[in-house]
């Protein structure tokens, strides 16, 4: 399948590439961290509750949002084609006694509403986890409703 | 009173009135006749957790079961507020349950039965669902259980 080949070759070239798959008017977007889209190098590393503060985590979540929007812009040609953000799932790398994952993820949610208005409102689940790939502090996956 | 509300009354279940969320997230986003319901915790009406702590440490299996059941009650309240009448629920498609666990706790499914049993009691066959349950080190607000779901509704 050509589309699949293209995705694989792009993700090989660009280690930080955001992977999107489309079904009808729904986009499934693979989990992405605060990592450079080309090199894959993380802008933040470490756990919330030790290396990173809530403020750091909030900023990292916003960077995830910027990267995901930029990938959608590239894929769709325009962010106007986003109908609304349907669902966000966030993994927050956390020390065992860190419980402010929601405040960290607000960095993403606030940003979505700032850029997209009501179209940025989304259902959301947030969880802490002991470790994430490359020691990134947060990873966010999305389901997005697009306009045909 | 709807059939589902009658059933809830028989079961002695009172659904809380108000959901707490604001800002960038909403309790439910709809796609066609599917409702994507945000991660829901064992909170009281004011959004304060009724249960806190981890399974295998501060909380027993029974407490975890009750916490998961409360997640379910809160979720039904959220869905009813959104669609007006739980008789409009056609089915629950998929449930994902997160259980805050000490590293040697392995009974996450038994905890999640609290949610699944409630849905089967309240909704009958409509409450049966595909489900995944996982343990994790820590959940927001130190809640022991968080559940998200995808509901199907009748147009």
Q: Check residue B71 and give its pLDDT.
A: 98
With an 8 Å Cβ cutoff, are B148 and A123 in contact?
yes
Domain span at residue B76 reads 3-8+35-147
* Integer Cα distance of A105 and A138 in angstroms: 8
Report if residue B108 sits inside a domain: yes
Q: What's the pLDDT tens digit per position in A125-145?
A: 999 999 999 999 999 999 999
In this structure, of A16-25, A85-94, B32-41, B54-63, the range with the lowest mean pLDDT score is A16-25
pLDDT bucket at B76, cuts 50 / 70 / 90:
very high
B61-83 and B108-123 helices, crossing angle to 10°: 40
Secondary structure of residue B31 in the 3-state scheme: strand
With an 8 Å Cβ cutoff, are A87 and B29 in contact?
yes
To the nearest whole Å, the CA of B85 is away from the closest chain A CA by 20
In this structure, of A3-17, B14-28, B128-142, the range with the lowest mean pLDDT score is A3-17
Tokens coding A58: 């909030």
Secondary structure of residue B112 in the 3-state scheme: helix
Q: Which of A84, A122, A128 sits opposite B136 (nearest CB)?
A: A128
| Long-range own/partner contacts, residues B78-85 (CB < 8 A, 24 or more apart) | B78/B19, B78/B27, B78/B28, B78/B37, B78/B40, B79/B28, B79/B35, B79/B37, B79/B151, B80/B15, B81/B17, B81/B19, B81/B27, B82/B27, B82/B28, B82/B30, B82/B35, B83/B35, B83/B153, B85/B2, B85/B4, B85/B5
Q: Check residue A132 and give its pLDDT.
A: 96
Q: For residue B127, what are the CA distances in angstroms to B12, B27, B83, B133?
A: 17, 19, 16, 17
Report if residue B60 sits inside a domain: yes
The CATH number covering residue B90 comes to 3.30.1330.40
Q: What's the pLDDT tens digit per position in A5-64?
A: 555 444 455 567 888 999 999 999 999 999 998 888 999 999 999 999 999 999 999 999
In this structure, of B22-31, B106-115, B141-150, the range with the lowest mean pLDDT score is B22-31
Q: Check residue B155 and give its pLDDT.
A: 81
Q: For chain B, what's the residue count?
A: 155
Report if residue B28 sits inside a domain: no
Q: Which residues of A8-22 are buried (b: 16+ CB within 10 A; e: fewer)?
A: eeeeeeeebbbebee
Q: Check residue A37 and give its pLDDT.
A: 84
Higher pLDDT, B17 or B62: B62
Residue B53: which residues within 8 A CB-CB, separation 6 or more?
A: B59, B100, B142, B144
Domains, chain A, in order of start with CATH, read 36-146 (3.30.1330.40)
Residues of A with CB under 8 A from a CB of B: 26, 84-89, 94-102, 106, 108-113, 120-130, 143, 145
Q: Check residue B119 and give its pLDDT.
A: 98
Q: Please provide residue B106's backbone torsions phi and psi, each rounded to the nearest 5 degrees.
A: -125, 10
What global pTM score does this model have?
Answer: 0.92
For residue A89, list chain B residues with Cβ-Cβ distance below 8 A.
148
Report if residue B69 sits inside a domain: yes
CA dihedral B132, B125, B37, B29 (to 10 degrees): 130
Q: What's the pLDDT tens digit per position in A66-85?
A: 999 999 999 999 999 999 99
Q: How many domains does chain B have?
A: 1
Q: Check residue B61 and give its pLDDT.
A: 98
Q: Which of B24, B137, B146 sits opposite A125 (nearest CB)?
A: B146
Report if residue B14 sits inside a domain: no
To the nearest whole Å, the CA of A101 is away from the closest chain B CA by 5
Report if residue B154 sits inside a domain: no
Burial (Cβ within 10 Å: 0-12, 13-18, ≥19) of residue B154: exposed
Report if residue B83 sits inside a domain: yes
Handedness of CA B86, B91, B93, B99 (dihedral sign): positive
Q: Check residue B1 and give its pLDDT.
A: 85
Which residue, among A92, A100, A114, A124, would best test binding to B if mutated, counting the most B CBs under 10 Å from its CB?
Answer: A124
Report if residue B50 sits inside a domain: yes
């Amino acid at each position: 399948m050509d589309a699949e080949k293209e995705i694989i070759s792009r993700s090989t070239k660009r280690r930080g590439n955001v992977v999107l798959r489309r079904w009808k008017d729904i986009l499934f977007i693979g989990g992405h961290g605060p990592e450079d889209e080309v090199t894959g190098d993380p802008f933040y590393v470490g756990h919330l509750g030790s290396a990173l503060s809530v403020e750091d985590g909030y900023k990292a979540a916003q960077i995830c949002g910027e990267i995901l929007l930029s990938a959608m812009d590239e894929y769709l040609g325009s962010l106007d084609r986003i109908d609304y953000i349907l669902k966000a799932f966030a993994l927050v790398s956390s020390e065992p006694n860190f419980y402010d994952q929601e405040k960290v993820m607000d960095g993403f949610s606030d940003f979505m509403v700032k850029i997209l208005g009501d179209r940025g409102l989304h259902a959301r689940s947030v969880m802490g986890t002991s470790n994430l790939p490359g020691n990134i502090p947060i990873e966010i996956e999305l389901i997005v409703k697009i306009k045909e | 009173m709807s059939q589902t509300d009658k059933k809830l009354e028989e079961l002695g279940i009172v659904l809380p009135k108000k959901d707490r969320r604001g800002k960038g997230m909403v309790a439910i986003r709809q796609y066609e006749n599917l409702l994507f319901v945000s991660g829901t915790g064992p909170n009281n009406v004011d959004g304060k957790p009724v249960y806190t702590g981890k399974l295998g440490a501060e909380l027993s299996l029974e407490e975890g079961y009750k916490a998961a059941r409360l997640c379910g009650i809160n979720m039904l309240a959220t869905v009813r507020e959104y669609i007006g009448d739980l008789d409009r629920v056609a089915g629950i498609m998929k449930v994902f349950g997160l259980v805050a666990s000490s590293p040697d706790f392995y009974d996450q499914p038994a905890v999640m039965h609290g949610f699944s049993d409630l849905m089967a009691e309240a909704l009958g066959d409509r409450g049966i669902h595909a489900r995944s349950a996982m343990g994790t080190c820590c959940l927001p607000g130190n809640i022991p259980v968080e559940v998200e779901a995808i509901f199907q509704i009748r147009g």
